[in-house]
Structure 1
Amino acid sequence: MTRKILLGALGALALTTAAPALAEGTLNVLTWEGYADPSFISKFEEESGCKVNATYVGSNDDFAPKLMSGGGVYDLITPSIDTTKLMIDLDFVEPLDTAKISEWNNIYKKFRDLDGIQKDGEYYGMPYVWGAIAFMYRDDAFTTPPTSIADLWNPALKGKVALWDDKSSIYVAARLNGDMDIYNLTDEQIAAAQKKLLEQKPLIRKYWATAGELVDLYKAGEVVISNTWAGYQSGLLKAEGIKVTEFIPKEGAEGWMDSWMVVKGTPNKECAYKFLNMQLSPLGQCGVANINGYSVTNPVSAKACMTPEQYKDLHQDDPAYLDSLMVWQPLGDRFEAYTNAWNAVKAQ
């Protein structure tokens, strides 16, 4: 199926499955764990009078199906930069009125300039948080620290390996094969990555879907090495007394950036823009940084609410760190090829 046909089919389905809008003053957000945590959302609700209901995703591939499922109308979503373009193309989201976002010009220019959140001169996404897809291991399981993606293919670790249940697993296997242009892989390179993942499958304990699932696997000692949302799961494990170490493998790591997007036609725009402004303020930026351990997009707010040590640890003063990462890119017409290859791995 071509991308044009896919967009048409999904768009038609969206029209037939849309559910009634929520009451005004209530925001229904489709987002990642931690992005609507009560530790900072409760204060926003008290101050704004806007109620926030959160539904969490475990993969960027969840956004389109959930928006079309008929289970409710979402007002705001936070897809990653490799998925924002698809949300725009599917006509799920509407242009932002950046004049209503007071901290807009304080967002790192690098993120505001990304093509994935723009179309026809308008912005559709508000950059929010960013980070790396690093790798992680339990300290007590290794005498020699792992340094390569190849360590996830080590037969001695059979049954102790986990990998994120996401099409980005194709990126991981491609780099192991030496195919470094991971967002522009040929059919042959995708097939080679799929083959590599099938070779790894007997070693896999679990393809993890949520932060909590991976944390539980490490806590139980069922998994000793995996990829990870850098800063998040490791922080949760260390709080539980489990010693783990994150590392960037010699084959490099992917980078990501998540953006808030306003779902087209939401009746709750007043609350939506209050929410967007809060998320770029010190309350929202340090709120998510303290919960998830991610870097944030507004260095002005970050400097106002972080200690100098936290600001440095999250690379807020180090744009070169971001440049060292393979930041996710929209896959365009290749989206299905990557997704189908990953689904085929799981199906076998």
Structure 2
Amino acid sequence: MKKRYRALPAMAAAAALVLAGCAADAGSDGAGELTFDVPDVPTLEEKGDYEDAVDIIAWSGFVEPEWADVFTEETGCVVNRRVAGTSDEMVQLMRTGDYDLVSASGDASLRLIVGGDVAPINTELIPNFSDDIVEGMKGQLYDTINGKVYGIPIGRGANILQYNSEIVTEEPTSWDVVWEADSPYAGQITAYDAPIYIADAAVYLMHHEPELGIENPYALDEDQLAAAIELLQQQNGLISEYWSDPVAQITSFAGGTTAIGTSWEILRKFAADDKFKGTLPVEGSTGWSDAWMISTESDSPNCAYEWMNYTSGAEVNGKIAMNFGMAPANGAFCELNDEAAAHCEEFNALNEEYFEQVWYWTTPIEQCLDGRTDVQCTSFQEWTDAWVSVKG
């Protein structure tokens, strides 16, 4: 089948994630305030007949028979799912050109955009991308560049501080219990195993060492990155284990290896024990927001666009959110029934004040995302190299 999008070469060194451009009066939350030079990838102008199938890379729980089979019945598009375990895996798979869609988190999306791997999306062809999509998930820097939308929101969540209340008997109000050398829980602390976790250290430093001048935890110059790495190396001596597999993290808490550390909101429920609690400390936290992104080499753009529209509807988007354990992107889901309302309340779906404390994962790049032009910020490759030094 003929490709609908022409594959473009990566115009920059994608591994180093160099986005050149100029910034004007940028803050931490305005995608439209920064301008980047990125590959000129065409946008689908109008939809045609559905193809035979759509190939999707997704997080576990995002593409399930309960709603995928209905989609196939309605459109004739067979849904082929490839589950990925990490953002790095998603990026690698998308660069093969074998997939139409990916459910990308913010630590992958800019890599895909700058590499020319994903195309801008014509939101007029996605009716469910409407006023019902919560405002806090629209126009974010990780998936909206130069006024062009590259991602259709799916759901979001905060990286919370989870703890075993039988060991941590008072609810912690600060992340200091996992960062400071005198933590009473040394040897019982868990942390997320990925370079993007460097941003968690930066969030802590923003609050406790303002003289470093960190305004955005994903926009670190060399000195700021060095400070974050120093803090991470200090924490390394306190860590019982790093986790990237949610099941392993649950097992660590349930087995007593871990008493406190970074977690996703849903994981304390999966531990199936009321003694596991979670909180959003005073410093705020990092978090994630996932979005559908379409490949520049999609063989099935019509099926892909319809999948993005279908899964953005209140009912299906809510099913995905409940299945995965996150806040849905479509706020109308919260009004469907009592179960939906309870889920939305638990995950703060409509609570923008809560999510204003959350710094969504965003790929660090050399152009400073906080708008500074007098320094060069560190790239994701530099973060990756630094993470190796943290773990030793």
Q: TM-score range by the shorter chain?
A: 0.7 to 0.9
Deviation at 1:121, TM superposition (A): 4.1
Gaps in structure 2 of 5+ consecutive residues: 1-9, 18-50, 367-377
Deviation at 1:242, TM superposition (A): 5.4
Task: Give the secondary structure class of the aligned counterpart of 2:60.
Answer: coil
Alpha-carbon distance between aligned partners in 2 of 1:9 and 1:155, rounded to the nearest angstrom: 36
Alpha-carbon distance between aligned partners in 1 of 2:345 and 2:301, rounded to the nearest angstrom: 35
Deviation at 1:155, TM superposition (A): 5.3
TM-score (norm 1): 0.83
In the TM superposition, what whole-angstrom CA distance separates every residue of 1:228-252 from its partner, at most 9, and x where no partner exists?
Answer: 122x2122123xx353111112222
- 2:169: which partner in 1? 143
- 1:57: which partner in 2? 84
Alpha-carbon distance between aligned partners in 2 of 1:5 and 1:98, rounded to the nearest angstrom: 27
Deviation at 1:5, TM superposition (A): 5.1
1:220-231 equivalences in 2 (<5 Å): 220-230=255-265
Task: Give the secondary structure class of the aligned counterpart of 2:106.
Answer: coil
Report the count of equivalent residues: 328
Task: Give the secondary structure class of the aligned counterpart of 1:222.
Answer: coil
Contact 1:40-1:283 at 8 Å conserved across structures: no
Contact 2:250-2:270 at 8 Å conserved across structures: yes
Residues 1:81 and 2:116 are matched in the alignment:
no
Task: Give the secondary structure class of the aligned counterpart of 1:259.
Answer: strand
Match of 2:306 among 246, 255, 274: 274
Alpha-carbon distance between aligned partners in 1 of 2:198 and 2:173, rounded to the nearest angstrom: 19
Deviation at 1:278, TM superposition (A): 2.1
Residues 1:218 and 2:253 are matched in the alignment:
yes
CA RMSD between the two structures: 2.8
Deviation at 1:202, TM superposition (A): 3.1
- 2:360: which partner in 1? 327
- 1:128: which partner in 2? 154
Contact 1:303-1:311 at 8 Å conserved across structures: no
- 1:234: which partner in 2? 268
Alpha-carbon distance between aligned partners in 2 of 1:226 and 1:156, rounded to the nearest angstrom: 13
- 1:165: which partner in 2? 193
Pair 279,89 (structure 1): closer, same or farther in 2 beyond 3 Å: same
| Structure 2 residue identity aligned to 1:236 | F
- 1:342: which partner in 2? 387
Pair 35,207 (structure 1): closer, same or farther in 2 beyond 3 Å: same
Percent pairwise identity: 25
Match of 2:143 among 94, 117, 124: 117
Alpha-carbon distance between aligned partners in 1 of 2:280 and 2:187, rounded to the nearest angstrom: 22
Which runs of at least 4 in structure 1 moved beyond 6 Å after TM superposition? Answer: none
Alpha-carbon distance between aligned partners in 1 of 2:183 and 2:355, rounded to the nearest angstrom: 33
Pair 119,263 (structure 1): closer, same or farther in 2 beyond 3 Å: same
Pair 226,47 (structure 1): closer, same or farther in 2 beyond 3 Å: farther
Deviation at 1:261, TM superposition (A): 0.3
Deviation at 1:47, TM superposition (A): 4.1
Alpha-carbon distance between aligned partners in 1 of 2:188 and 2:247, rounded to the nearest angstrom: 17
In the TM superposition, what whole-angstrom CA distance separates every residue of 1:286-344 from its partner, at most 9, and x where no partner exists?
Answer: 11221222112211244235543333333233222222323344422132332321232
In the TM superposition, what whole-angstrom CA distance separates every residue of 1:53-109 from its partner, at most 9, and x where no partner exists?
Answer: 3333344333323334x5x71211122234322211101011223222121123234
Pair 171,217 (structure 1): closer, same or farther in 2 beyond 3 Å: same
Alpha-carbon distance between aligned partners in 2 of 1:51 and 1:76, rounded to the nearest angstrom: 13
- 2:115: which partner in 1? 90
Contact 2:189-2:239 at 8 Å conserved across structures: yes
Contact 1:31-1:78 at 8 Å conserved across structures: yes
Residues 1:309 and 2:355 are matched in the alignment:
no
1:183-222 equivalences in 2 (<5 Å): 183-222=218-257
In the TM superposition, what whole-angstrom CA distance separates every residue of 1:98-125 from its partner, at most 9, and x where no partner exists?
Answer: 2221211232344322243234543221
Q: Choose 276-285 or 301-310, whichever is displaced more.
A: 301-310
Gaps in structure 1 of 5+ consecutive residues: 11-23
Contact 1:101-1:276 at 8 Å conserved across structures: yes
Alpha-carbon distance between aligned partners in 2 of 1:159 and 1:56, rounded to the nearest angstrom: 33
Alpha-carbon distance between aligned partners in 2 of 1:137 and 1:220, rounded to the nearest angstrom: 13
1:2-21 equivalences in 2 (<5 Å): 6-7=13-14
Alpha-carbon distance between aligned partners in 2 of 1:9 and 1:308, rounded to the nearest angstrom: 43
Alpha-carbon distance between aligned partners in 1 of 2:68 and 2:240, rounded to the nearest angstrom: 35
Deviation at 1:275, TM superposition (A): 1.5
Contact 1:149-1:251 at 8 Å conserved across structures: yes
Alpha-carbon distance between aligned partners in 1 of 2:15 and 2:124, rounded to the nearest angstrom: 32
| Structure 2 residue identity aligned to 1:6 | A
Would you tell me which structure has more helix in proportion to its own residues? Answer: 1
| Structure 1 residue identity aligned to 2:315 | L
